[in-house]
Structure 1
Amino acid sequence: MNILIVGGNGGIGLAMVKEALVRFPLAQIHATYRRTKSDYEHSALIWHQVDVTDETQVKNLSQAVNTIDWVINCVGMLHTPNKSPEKNLSMVEPDFFLQNIAVNTLPSMLLAKYFSPLLKRSGAPKFAVVSAKVGSISDNRLGGWYSYRASKAALNMFLKTMSIEWRRMVKHGTVLALHPGTTDTALSAPFQAKVPEGKLFSPERVAR
């Protein structure tokens, strides 16, 4: 088995890498990072430096990996050092919105484009993405977080549309949108004080 974990140096991503190595001891695990490679090493783990918002780099990654059974995308953003999620319309900025789309939506589209032909050759292919419940239109009762919500809603619609195509083209495959809940990572750190007791999950629990 060959598994690609995108964003493998992040909180959820690294937990996914470690869980995959334990659960599938005979598998070859590929993991990506954008800038800073994790110190974690294993004989069955190969690290790839890739900017998954860059189409050429994603294409090159698909050629380097060549054989794959599962793709798990853990890349995502909610805030930057200088910008928090919008509480109201007056905080909406085009650059921040487009950055959310570029990080939360586009990578899965590029990964699907270039890895679907490889996954089709697998006996039981899976394409999974860490999404978020706040991307649900029907479940939105609190408002706010305009860019993040919109980018995750776009991601969820993309995955739904992809699953329809796979129903015809990759009939033995599975497309998954994963909702991890609020996880103890750098992404959620500024907002953890408001999380109800028992609702903040460890990356290890999420990976399992």
Structure 2
Amino acid sequence: MKSLKILLPAILLLIISSSCDKLDDFNLSGTIFIEDPYYPGLPIYSEWGYNTFGAYIDRKPFVSTSDDLPVKVIVNSDTLNIILRGHMGSENVDLKFSIKGFSPQTYYDLTELDNTSFNLKEAGRAVTLKTGNVTTALNLIEGELIIKKVQRLYVDEELSRTIMSGYFNLKTFLNDEPIAISQGRYDLGIGYENFYNL
């Protein structure tokens, strides 16, 4: 009976401490996928830094996963490149938006893009689609990238990351056939691990 009184609190303490470790392991770069009830297979639109994106490529969901870093932002001289990395079915897919004329020095400079939209057909804009190992520079019929909200996230009064949220849609040709990339939405945390100024 005495050993049971000692053993029971020890087990309880072990359970509590292991659950605290799991809370400590939570990090802000994790993915939270909440499915949109109106657009099955896609995440809801949010501005909370859920690290998700999604779009239909000819009605097939192209979405971020918890296995891959969903976004990389790469600045090459005067061009901002936003690369969305995810899956469409079992295939790895990257969608890259290139915007010439904007070259932030750090990820917190991305707030200059708050409430901005880009006509992707204008000069200095490019979109590429990589499916598996095949990369295609898209010849756009029309396209728009909307950066609706860019905000800085502070943790304990220190800048942790920049959250960028918005929409995208485009029509293009793939294998000589017109396709649509529609209902595109993203809510992404950008910080030290996925922002590169080369």
Q: Normalised by the shorter chain, which TM-score bucket?
A: under 0.3
Higher share in strand: 2
TM-score (norm 2): 0.23
Q: Which has the larger radius of gyration?
A: 2
TM-score (norm 1): 0.22
Higher share in helix: 1
